[in-house]
Structure 1
Amino acid sequence: MINLLPIRRGLVAGLLAASVASPAFAGGKSLACYQQRHQPAVYKTVHENVVVRPAGVVHQTISARYGQVTEKVLIEPERVIARHVPAVTRTVHQKVMVRPKSVGWEWRHIKGVRTLCKVVHPAQYATQARTVVVHPARTVHERVPARYAHRTRTVVIEPARTVTRHVPAVVKTVARTVEVRPASSGWVQVSGHKRCN
């Protein structure tokens, strides 16, 4: 389909130019009248989302956590030791016979005459001290219990780790003015013969 609008606009513009340029045509009968109209541009505000910051991945390192623990530790293990117990002695005194009873001969003077006599010698005793063992020496085994102590030390409660966190994109809605229809200028036919007089 042929668009006749440009041809029509050109024709009208030519006729108007001719009527303005030629005063001989002034005062004639009007066949059609045209007025120049200016159409301003039409704008509207549109809202659109723009990415201020794109989505990404953040790696965050979390430090290890430490704490104090108290524990019972062995200082010296249980053991058995041998101990020598010396003998227990005491001193006792007892009467012992030094010389037994005996019969013998000896010279005696009886009334001035030397006489051989048979005599009895009684036993002789003496007190002697001696050491007796009350308890003999011995070896005894003694159990020595283990020895413990409490010690405080630092331990890792939670080791260091890296956490990956997804950061969403930051989107901002911005408003901007766009031209819907540009400004235009053209000739519009005035309807009715009265408008041309």
Structure 2
Amino acid sequence: MKLRQVSMRKALRTSVCLLAIAASTSASFAGGQCYRYVASPARYELRAEQVLVRPAAVVAVTVPAQPQSVAETVVVQPERAVARVIPPIYRNVREAVLVEPARQIERVMPPVLGTVTEQVEIAPARKVWQVNGEDGGLVGCWVYVPPTYATRTRTIELRPVETAYEAVPASYATRVRTVEVQPARTVYDTVPAVYATRLRPVATPPRIAYEQVPAEYRMVYRSVLVQPASAGWVPILSFDGCRGEGLSPVIYNHPPGLPDAG
């Protein structure tokens, strides 16, 4: 096909050259223009395309009965509480103990005595009838007799009996005594349960399972037209023996045919 296109191009080029030579004289004087016919083949590209061969489907499959073992957890020993006795806690305490309480002692102070010397009237003053004989007769007169005194010593109390109280403070002693700080008590500790795993045989009945069969695709390669074939006349800026120098790269997609003279 490529060889055929090359032959066609050569034939077209030869025809154009002959036409150009025939009209060169008139074209140069009349100010005309020459053209070249250019044909471009179609361009294809190979592209990969995914084609659905088989659509997705759901298939029913019979699963036969199968013996199997099921692991299950069983209690070997249940949870329980264990009693634990905690003994009491003691401590030695030093403390002050009252040996003798505070008291007051009564002290009696004897009186203070003294000696006093004083004159004491023994006989008071008085009148005494006194008869005297005078001239053979009796004469009676009242005679004044002064009082009679005597010196006497007596004991007097200078200070009476006094009672005084003396305060005697309390008397203490240090004693070590054992006291209970915390009494005995019972504590219950929880012992967790003990478990074990055992296998238990079970039989599963036959069943129907549905399996999803995915769709199946296939890669298909096909030729895709990227650019269609085109042909057109290209103006020649300068004509030199139909060798094609100076052709413009512009391609006009006109139907094959000579354009109108301008």
Q: Same fold (TM over 0.5)?
A: no
Larger relative contact order, structure 1 or 2 (CA cutoff 8 Å, min sep 6): 1
Flag the structure with larger Rg.
Answer: 2
TM-score band, normalised by the shorter chain?
0.3 to 0.5
